[in-house]
Amino acid sequence: MDGSPPPLPPCLAIMKPLTWLSVQANGAVIPKGFVHKDLAKKDTWLKALIAIPDIQPRYAFAIWKKYPCMRSLLNEYMDGSKTVAEKELLLSDLKWEDRLGDEGKRLGNKCSRRVYRMLMAQNGDLDADDPEAGGRS
């Protein structure tokens, strides 16, 4: 052995080089058409929201506008005066913006529950789609 690393496996040798937009976080890709992609590159909290499965970047941006840091949202989620059901639906009435900045539809209950369950999970193996955990059936 001369101390050099072993050659790359054939499957890695032909891979295209990664760009920022092609890097995935839990299967989430920030689309090139996302209006706030420069902000998403810089803001860790926004990137974390986009990385939640099935949370579109425009939904993540609506959450980020209302709760600009993770602590602000977690403070709401850890408020002892609210029930779990209220906390799960906390984000449901937020509205996302279209490309022109006009208000779109509500985030909805499903999106709100998904964010709550991912951020408040006690178990790192949580499957947000698991019906037992309140996900899809």
| Region of residue 26 (phi > 0: left; psi between -120 and 50: alpha; otherwise: beta) | left
**Phi-psi map region of 107: left, alpha, beta (phi>0 left; psi -120 to 50 alpha):** alpha
101: left (phi over 0), alpha (psi -120 to 50) or beta: left
The answer, as to whether pTM is greater than 0.85, is no
What value does the mean pLDDT take over residues 21-28? 46
pLDDT at residue 13, rounded to an integer: 55
For 55-108, write each residue's pLDDT tens digit: 888 899 899 999 999 999 999 999 999 999 999 999 999 998 776 666 778 899
Complete domains list, the chain, with CATH: 10-133 (1.10.150.670)
pLDDT at 124: 66
pLDDT band at 44 (very low <50, low <70, confident <90, very high): confident
